[in-house]
Amino acid sequence: MGKKLTSRAEDYSKWYNELVVKADLAENSGVRGCMVIKPYGFAIWEKMQAGLDKMFKDTGHQNAYFPLFIPKSYLSKEASHVEGFAKECAVVTHYRLKNAEDGSGIVVDEDAKLEEELIVRPTSETIIWDTYRKWIQSYRDLPLLINQWANVVRWEMRTRLFLRTAEFLWQEGHTAHATEKEAIEEADMIMHLYADFAENHMAVPVIKGTKTESERFAGAVETYCIEALMQDGKALQAGTSHFLGQNFAKAFDVKFANKEGKQDHVWATSWGVSTRLMGALIMTHSDDNGLVLPPKLAPIQVVIVPIYKGEEQLDAITEKVNPLVKELRSKGISVKYDNRDTHKPGFKFNEYELKGVPVRLAVGQRDLENDTFEIARRDTLEKETITSGDAVEKITTLLEDIQTNIYSKAKTYQESHITNVDSYDEFKQVLEEKGGFIAAHWDGTTETEDRIKTETKATTRCIPIDVIEEEGRCMVTGKPSSFRVLFAKAY
């Protein structure tokens, strides 16, 4: 395991980077900005995928798959979209390598230059709307509710595991509707679906809202979002859902015949969450001992560690443990019985603490004699001794309790880190000393947003959906404002 983690208080950023690697979640690869998601980290992501995928299907969406590559010309068709993505995209220019004539290795074969360069998708609106043109003729073809699980590439200059990587995994929903109202309802529904997933699966409380104009997706009319708060007081955008108006339908000429037989452009949404959620999950719950996972997403929910001397004792423990393992599995609980003889119990305890396994059982000689288990919960690190007969019920209850407890803890933290401020000085002070979300009046201009960002590094996170109308004055310019916007430093 190596030496202990850097503590959060000492260096939050270093703590995160170390934790991701030490807990076997991910690591940097030999390719700049691209990560390797290790089996343990990927198992968590798979559970996220399964949870989300079911929610998408339950709300009528189907999965499909569109090409990795986007012809350069497609990107240009929607003006603000190309502006947003052209500056950070991987460009394929050739389709073959050859042996260098001087024998120095393999080089790009200049005879195999593409007529039109291809962009590795940074997001798929353009290629998908080029396809939808063929799929949509009539109102009968609508709504079209499609999702794709895919990898995308944005050439970020400063990358961090899960939070910002050149390649990342995500899902992107792309829907087409007959009316503006329906499309807005879809975008809004997905924001609520994302919030539901974040809160009830990830145990991550979020604030639902809409983005200000300058923070909107490139090509969107409105961007709905969920914003989470990390333990260092920085916000993290955890998911976005965009109402695209008719922008892409017009750019790609996607029209349909309505019930009256008249041609109209289609209304659109797109929405996505990515492996960035892994970063949110890690930073919301984990502590100085390592990862803390919500039971619903933990690849191993219960680990059982035998404490023994010699094979005979191990056999007795195994005999005691086997029926419990069987019963837990029959209840759909994932259990690992770690009887490896290559590592000592203390090493195993540290390992599972680091990896955030919610419940740990230990069984030693005394437990054999007394028919007990020692049970420990990862979130509070509390331990107790229970009788074997109570184990299944105790474990079941504990898993539910941990799920609830870590959510409550994060929710309490979030609620105590939303501060109303009424002056720019107070804003700067709270930002510096406390962090978190700051609710302030703002004049609604991008100019003021830019100034605040430059001077404080804080950005508008969202206008909460439950925002209260309240007359006030912009903390910077003094111009009138009718509601508070949430600001924060963000990942």
Binding residues for its own copies (CB under 8 A): 27, 29-31, 34-39, 42-43, 45-46, 62-76, 82, 86-98, 105-106, 108, 117-120, 127, 130-131, 134, 140, 146, 150-151, 153, 155, 167, 169, 342
| Span between the terminal Cα atoms of the chain, in Å | 28
143 cis-preceded (ω within 30 degrees of 0): yes
Q: Which is nearer to its own copies, 38 or 473 (CB)?
A: 38
CA–CA dist 325, 18 (Å, integer): 32
Q: Which is nearer to its own copies, 36 or 381 (CB)?
A: 36
In the complex, what is the shortest distance from the CB of residue 29 to its own copies, in angstroms, rounded to a whole number? Answer: 5
Q: Which is nearer to its own copies, 126 or 459 (CB)?
A: 126
Q: Which is nearer to its own copies, 119 or 302 (CB)?
A: 119
Q: Which is nearer to its own copies, 325 or 368 (CB)?
A: 325
Type and span of the H or E element at 461: strand 459-464
Q: Which is nearer to its own copies, 98 or 383 (CB)?
A: 98
In the complex, what is the shortest distance from the CB of residue 150 to its own copies, in angstroms, rounded to a whole number? Answer: 8
In the complex, what is the shortest distance from the CB of residue 169 to its own copies, in angstroms, rounded to a whole number? Answer: 7
Q: Which is nearer to its own copies, 58 or 469 (CB)?
A: 58
In the complex, what is the shortest distance from the CB of residue 182 to its own copies, in angstroms, rounded to a whole number? Answer: 18
**Residue 189, number of CB atoms within 10 A of its CB:** 15
In the complex, what is the shortest distance from the CB of residue 95 to its own copies, in angstroms, rounded to a whole number? Answer: 4
Note whether 74 and 126 are within 8 A (CB): yes
Q: What is the residue whose two structure tokens read 């069984």?
A: 363
In the complex, what is the shortest distance from the CB of residue 481 to its own copies, in angstroms, rounded to a whole number? Answer: 36
Q: What is the residue whose two structure tokens read 């190596």?
A: 2
**Burial class of residue 328, CB neighbours in 10 A (0-12, 13-18, 19+):** buried
**Residue 422, number of CB atoms within 10 A of its CB:** 14
Two structure tokens written together for 430: 């709270």
Q: At what angle do helices 276-285 and 391-415 cross, to 10 degrees?
A: 100
In the complex, what is the shortest distance from the CB of residue 195 to its own copies, in angstroms, rounded to a whole number? Answer: 26
The closest alpha carbon to 241, from 205, 275, 273, 200, belongs to 273
